[in-house]
Amino acid sequence: MLTKTDTGALTFPVPEPPATGEVTEIAPGILWARIPLPFRLNHINVYLIEDGEGWAVLDTGIGNEATRAVWSALVDGPLAGRRLTRLIVTHFHPDHIGLAGWLCERFGLALLTSQTSYLACANISLSPGALDAKPYREFYLRHGLDAETTQRVATQGHNYLRMVSGLPPTFERLVAGDRLAIGGRSFDVLTGNGHAPEQVMLYCAADNVFLAADQVLAKITPNISVWAVDPQGDPLGLYVRSLGELKRQIPADALVLPGHQLPFYGLHARSDQLIAHHETRCAAIAEACRTQPRSAAELVPVLFHRDLDPHQMSFAFSEVQAHINYMLRRGELAWVEGGDDVERVVAPVKRAAARKRPTAAPGRRRRAGNP
Ligand SMILES: [Zn+2]
Ligand SMILES: [Zn+2]
């Protein structure tokens, strides 16, 4: 779930985003445009990178009539006279890939993205009801989620498809370590996990510009979720690892062009803030689980202090799961048998946690008693 966090130490070179249908040249030869989204997070940033006679497009907005109208207005307005050359998609979330099928068809573009992004979108498109299966429903119920929210999560593939205009039949695979030439420039292809698997990011060393997708946003934390199909997965661990890699690979003074909110300077500081934010949440979970065992659903109010509708609850629940799995791997939580069918975790005493750390095998859950 997108959560507001402290943003001290960042600077914002352009304080106002472009109006819908307009563009701002945010770096030499890189245009920034905004596409409205019908959500609480009400926009996505898309970028147009000078590519010879035209513009390479980065990300699309969701696949609906309103987004098509914005793209038509951009093409007929500020981009008039120069064609679109190709489409780069950072990850499979509908706000980023949603209009890929339509844009590629309408403007004759090739799609460039990671294999996982392409296959994840294709997979949901082929089988939108796949999550509505007994083992997945049971996963949510076993961790204390209520029936209404479980129903919503189990059927979210159908919601996804309502926001995606399909995929072109072929794509060009982007792989971390590739060099991608766009116009006269060379971009390093990076990928990161945690928010979405194999999310693509681009870095141009010559101009010190970093297209960060949703991995590093200025004022909110990207959603980090465990999904029932990978119930012991550790997306938060992968996310923290990715932030560390970005700090090693991208200079602290790079201009960051993110998928939402304002472009900014302060990548390393922001990465540190995001890591600290998650550590604070882990500490809150540990504190809550020291006094009594709690299920994932019971931990939601520990991290989220407002009323949540079922949609928000589904994200909050999956985000709590991500913290639980991260802490289990670090030996900071242990499973405990309850008197009912709901699984709960406890925070072991510190010395026990230290002893367990090297052996934490995420695939094999060991049940532990109360400490
Ligand atoms: Zn995303
Ligand atoms: Zn996004």
Ligand 2 centre distance from Cα of residue 39 (Å): 11
Ligand 1 centre distance from Cα of residue 301 (Å): 24
Ligand 1 centre distance from Cα of residue 129 (Å): 21
Ligand 2 centre distance from Cα of residue 338 (Å): 38
Ligand 1 centre distance from Cα of residue 105 (Å): 23
Ligand 1 centre distance from Cα of residue 199 (Å): 9
Query: What residues contact 325, with CB distance under 8 A and at least 6 apart?
Result: 226, 232, 233, 234, 235, 236, 237, 362
Question: Could you tell me whether strands 179-182 and 24-27 are parallel, antiparallel, or unpaired per DSSP bridges?
Answer: unpaired
Taking the CA of 46 as reference, the closest ligand is 2
Ligand 2 centre distance from Cα of residue 235 (Å): 16
Contact 291, 245 (CB under 8 A): no
Q: What is the pLDDT of residue 311?
A: 84
To the nearest 10 degrees (0 to 180), the angle between helices 65-76 and 100-107 is 40
Ligand 2 centre distance from Cα of residue 331 (Å): 32
Q: What is the pLDDT of residue 187?
A: 98
Q: What is the pLDDT of residue 153?
A: 86
Reading the block at residue 211, the tokens are 């297209």
Strand partners, 3: 221
Ligand 2 centre distance from Cα of residue 349 (Å): 39
Ligand 2 centre distance from Cα of residue 37 (Å): 10
Ligand 2 centre distance from Cα of residue 354 (Å): 37
Ligand 1 centre distance from Cα of residue 93 (Å): 5
Ligand 2 centre distance from Cα of residue 336 (Å): 36
Q: What is the pLDDT of residue 352?
A: 47
Question: In whole angstroms, what is the distance from residue 340 CA to residue 294 CA?
Answer: 12
CA angle 353-354-355, nearest 5°?
A: 90
Ligand 2 centre distance from Cα of residue 289 (Å): 32
Look up tokens 């039949």; give the residue: 169
Look up tokens 């799609």; give the residue: 111
Q: What is the pLDDT along the chain (371 residues), one digit of tens a residue?
A: 555 665 668 999 999 999 999 999 999 999 999 999 998 899 999 999 999 999 999 999 999 999 999 999 999 999 988 999 999 999 999 999 999 999 999 999 999 999 999 999 999 999 988 888 999 999 999 999 999 899 888 888 898 999 999 999 999 999 999 999 999 999 999 999 999 999 999 999 999 999 999 999 999 999 999 999 999 999 999 999 999 999 999 999 999 999 999 999 999 999 999 999 999 999 999 999 999 999 999 999 999 999 998 888 999 999 999 999 999 999 999 999 777 889 999 998 665 444 444 444 444 333 333 33
**Positive or negative: CA dihedral 132, 133, 138, 139:** negative
Ligand 1 centre distance from Cα of residue 138 (Å): 26
Give the DSSP per-residue string, 151-169.
Answer: HHHHTHHHHHHHT-----S
Ligand 2 centre distance from Cα of residue 258 (Å): 9
Ligand 1 centre distance from Cα of residue 116 (Å): 14
Taking the CA of 37 as reference, the closest ligand is 2
Question: Could you tell me whether strands 54-58 and 84-88 are parallel, antiparallel, or unpaired per DSSP bridges?
Answer: parallel
Ligand 1 centre distance from Cα of residue 314 (Å): 16
Q: What is the pLDDT of residue 71?
A: 97
